[in-house]
Amino acid sequence: MDMPHALAAFDALGQPSRLTVFRLLVQTGSAGLAAGDIAARLDMKPNTLSTHLGILESAGLIAAQRQGRSIRYHAQMEGLRGLMAWMLQDCCGGNPAACAPLLDLITNKGLKMDPKPYHVLFLCTGNSARSILAEAVLNHEGKGRFIAHSAGSRPSGQPHPLAISLLQHEGIDTGFARSKSWDEFATPDAPKMDFVFTVCDNAAAEECPYWPGQPMTAHWGLPDPAAATGTDAQKALAFAETYAAMMRRIQAFCALPLATIDALSLKSHLKTIGEDIQ
């Protein structure tokens, strides 16, 4: 960060509407928001919002990413950290140790590490397709930070063959996969869940068992690929689309700073992931 970049950032944030837009994108994290969603949340005219987004992007404070036909915007946290670190690099009259805790936080050195893996349970009705894919993807992407499980309210008895073949094609081990009742996770000796996500509308509408520990919950509903009709290729495509959507949601989830985010903000992030990332 240098003086010209710092001045551009301050100029971008010095206008109330732009500051509001930027704070909203900071709240949504890596999931970001489409321009239409930002305009709706802030009751802002699209052409006015477009101008503000352009200025923030030019200042290096936000970035745009195309997803299908829409463009999503998210805060560039590295740019914000760089600005704050530049402001404080010569702080405290030559005694930088006085500012060390704040500098460490800004540069990520002092962020609290996750103390243990988070247990996450994915629920659907049959526990044969969506929840199986979600369990596999999170265990693969979570890299030890998460231990994923899946279950169903009325388990089908076995994972769907197309779900298994897709995971194998993606190089993900399927030895874990079995269809099981959510009652397994409501017993006293079951793992304590930190998060419980429903991935089908039917499961979300049913009365779930009591989960010890009061885990954070959210609905991440997706169409059931097992219900797809047509040729074998069309059915396989339905599973591939579900896998891709779940991958995007889980990557956004894995990017959340779970060790430092407050419960209310986390709940909002989880809701946004389920509603806005398809």
Active-site choice (91, 99, 208, 254): 208
Sheet of strand 118-124: strand arrangement: 146-152, 118-124, 195-198, 216-219
200 classed as catalytic = yes
Distance between CA atoms of residues 71 and 108, nearest Å: 28
- Whether 99 sits among the annotated catalytic residues: the reply is no
Q: For the chain, how long is the longest CA-to-CA vector?
A: 72
Distances (CA, A) of 221 to 119, 182, 277: 20, 17, 11
- The CA distance from 219 to 222, in Å, is 9
Catalytic-labelled residue, pool 91, 92, 99, 200:
200
- Catalytic site residue from 91, 92, 99, 124: 124
What is the bridge-based pairing of β-strands 118-124 and 146-152? parallel
Q: At what angle do helices 161-169 and 232-254 cross, to 10 degrees?
A: 60
Element (H, E) at 177: none
> For residue 234, what is the enclosing H or E element?
helix 232-254
Extract the tokens encoding 29.
Answer: 């994290």
**Residues identified as active-site:** 124, 200, 208
